[in-house]
Amino acid sequence: MSTTIYTKPGCPQCTATRRAFDRAGLDYRTVDITRDPAAAQTLRDAGFLQAPVVVTDAGSWSGYRPDRIRLLVRRGDAA
């Protein structure tokens, strides 16, 4: 499964999301939206107004969502 976490510096929910992914053994790549204006605009165009934004093959969400992360683990998306 391909997962991208769009983050920004100083974002506690971003840090919590990355830590939860790490603890769960889930693979992901990060994109700092302050360094990638095109990615930031794409997320805004899609209606996302807060970081982090997590995009997986199974869907996407914004904010720290431990419930959604647990679902990924249950589906067997852990490395």
CATH number assigned to the domain comprising residue 26:
3.40.30.10
Number of domains in the chain: 1
List beta partners, residue 32: 7
What is the Cα–Cα distance from 39 to 27, expressed in whole angstroms?
Answer: 20
End-to-end CA distance of the chain: 9
pLDDT grade for 75, boundaries at 50, 70 and 90: confident
The secondary structure element, H or E, covering residue 49 is none
Contact status, residue 77 vs residue 32, Cβ threshold 8 Å: no
24 vs 38: CA distance, rounded Å: 30
Could you list the residue range(s) of the whole structural domain that residue 48 is in? Answer: 3-74
Whether residue 52 lies inside any domain: the answer is yes
Strand partners, 53: 6, 62
What pLDDT, on the 0 to 100 scale, is given for residue 30? 98
In a domain, 79, yes or no: no
- Residue 77 in this model has a pLDDT that exceeds 80: no
Q: What pLDDT digit, counting tens, does each position of 16-48 carry?
A: 999 999 999 999 999 999 999 999 999 999 999
